[in-house]
Structure 1
Amino acid sequence: MSHGLYLYGIFPSPGPKDLGLEGLDKQPVQAQVVDEFVFLYSEAQQERYLASRRNLLGHERVLEQAMEQGYQTLLPLQFGLIIQDWERVQQQLLVPKGEVLKQLLHKLEGRREVSVKVVWDAARELEALMQENAILRDQRDQLEGKSLSMDEVVRIGQAIERAMNDRKQAIIETFRQRLNGRALETVENDSLMEGMIYNAAYLIPWEQEAEFCEQVEVLDQAFENRLRIRYNSFTAPFNFAQLR
């Protein structure tokens, strides 16, 4: 039983046809032309889709497979969007937001999103900081086996915290200086896990991905084994397709 139409993304006309893709709940992915836009959709088998890892990846996979087949200019829609009929899309989305959608598609033409996530080992970084900074090391050593006042404990703790934050910011600034100038736009997102100190998405010209990847490798080598750098070279441009 269909519960409406599940939407994945929007392409400029003429858009994709007969992609042969499988969407959520193993439903065939279809294309629907509405005005100057082409919507990728499948029949919704649920009234509401839970944002599980499986469903989220299924949503993203449809978009990425369409891009891999050559339909690279795309506005990905947020996960979980179900509509009842195309007339409602016309009234609720295209009439009020049609011009904005055209502008976003124009902005994304010939461009792609890549992302960099940087993870450090805080314990190792703290130990390295202590090796490099004799004053902080002496202060930390005072915390062990001595009876200090609460004020002294707090002061030493804050000094170490500030130094660690400075260390983190120095790494982040290095990534910004190396990568931001090579991107048309950059979006910095929240960290997704403990130890992640930087999470950024970049909008770059499609053909310049290899060059951008090279710069990420240069950074990886510069920091040797200090950091784990996760580079995603191919994803739908969620960070640069925000409807205002």
Structure 2
Amino acid sequence: MEAGLYLYGITVAQGTVPVEVPGIENAEVEQVVEGSLAAIVTRVTTQKIRPQRSNLAAHHHVLRDLTEQQPILPAAFGTIAGSEKQLREVLRRNHDVLIEQLKRLRGKVEMGLGVYWDTPNVFEFFVATHRELEQMRDRLFRPGKTPRFEEKVELGKLFESLLRDSRQRHTRQVIEALSPYCVEIRTIDPGEEKMIMKLACLVEESRRGQWEDGIEAVARHFDNHYGFKYTGPWAPHNFADIDLNLVPA
């Protein structure tokens, strides 16, 4: 029994479904056409899709195929419309906004860049490169002294402050270097301590090579304590500024 339509994304309506790979649950990928828009979907038997490897891979493969052929507004993994009627209503209600977004993204892809401290221990690296942190660490942990809790907190605050300042400085440097090759750059929370920055870059497909050359050029300004890793091309998840407010019926 059909429980809903799993949504991969929204694109411009075509005569046929522009995807040949199987979708979620190894099911067929279809399109629901409403006017000049098409929602790329798979009919599913559950209202919740687990984020297991096979499902994540299917979601990614469908979007990859779409991205290679035409502009796509990708939906977040796990987005399910309760019915075809509901999905059509959403497409009608948001038609002008969706068309404008698709025009903005035509011929562009999302590329990701992560820059990280390539060192076993970030704190020890900062101790070795920041005199004030080294002095406080040595003063608190000198032989015969047991630091108080408050002193450890102050040491941690200094480290976090230096970490934040370093991230901000390096991020500005990299964004400035890559901006000439990007339509737009958005920062993403770096998450783990070793990450300096995560950038989502909206790049014209024709300028991908220049963007990659730009990364190589800016990386030369960093020593071997830093690592650069880029990924893509991806569907423009971080640049699809839409909220369809789909709730399963």
State percent identity of aligned pairs: 26
Q: Which moved more, 1:14-23 or 1:228-237?
A: 14-23
Question: Out of 132, 136, 139, which is 1:139 matched to?
Answer: 136
- Which one-letter code corresponds to 1:102 in the other structure? I
- Measure how far apart 1:101 and its partner are: 0.5
Contact map agreement 2:18 2:66 (CA 8 A) in 1? no
Q: 1:94: which partner in 2?
A: 91
More helix by share: 1
Please report how far the alpha carbon of residue 39 of structure 1 lies from its aligned counterpart in structure 2 after TM superposition: 2.0
Structure 1 segments of 4 or more deviating over 6 A? Answer: none
TM-score under structure 1 length normalisation: 0.85
Q: Distance in 1 between matches of 2:50 and 2:112?
A: 25
| Residues 50-90 of structure 1: per-residue CA shift (max 9 Å, x gap) | 2334323321211102223xx23111122222235432222
- Report whether the alignment pairs 1:30 with 2:23: no
Distance of 1:148 and 1:201 partners within structure 2: 45
Which of the numbers 82, 107, 113 marks the counterpart of 2:110? 113
Distance 1:192 1:7 in 2: 28
d(CA) in 1 for partners of 2:139, 2:120: 19
C-alpha change, 1:149 and 1:26, in structure 2 (3 Å) is closer
Alignment of 1:67-82 (within 5 A): 67-68=67-68, 71-82=69-80
DSSP-derived class of the 1:72 partner:
coil
Paired residues of 1:118 and 1:227 also in contact (CA < 8 A): yes
RMSD of aligned Cα (Å): 2.6
Q: Give per-residue Cα distances to partners, 1:10-51, cap 9 Å, x unaligned.
A: 111326536322001111212332211122122213232123
Match of 1:95, as an amino acid? R
Task: Give the aligned partner of residue 63 of structure 2.
Answer: 63
> Within the alignment, does 1:223 sit opposite 2:237 as a pair?
no
Q: Describe the shift of the 1:157–1:31 C-alpha distance in structure 2 as closer, same or farther (beyond 3 A).
A: closer
Q: Which 5+ residue runs of structure 2 have no aligned equivalent?
A: 244-249
Kindly report which structure 2 residues correspond to 1:1-244, keeping only aligned pairs within 5 A, or say none.
1-14=1-14, 16-17=16-17, 19-68=19-68, 71-91=69-89, 93-121=90-118, 124-144=121-141, 145-147=143-145, 150=148, 154-243=153-242
Task: Quote the Cα distance in structure 1 between the aligned partners of 2:204 and 2:129.
Answer: 41
Match of 1:80, SS state, is: coil
- Measured against aligned partners, the alpha-carbon deviations of 1:174-195 in whole angstroms (never above 9, x if no partner) come to 2122123432222212234442
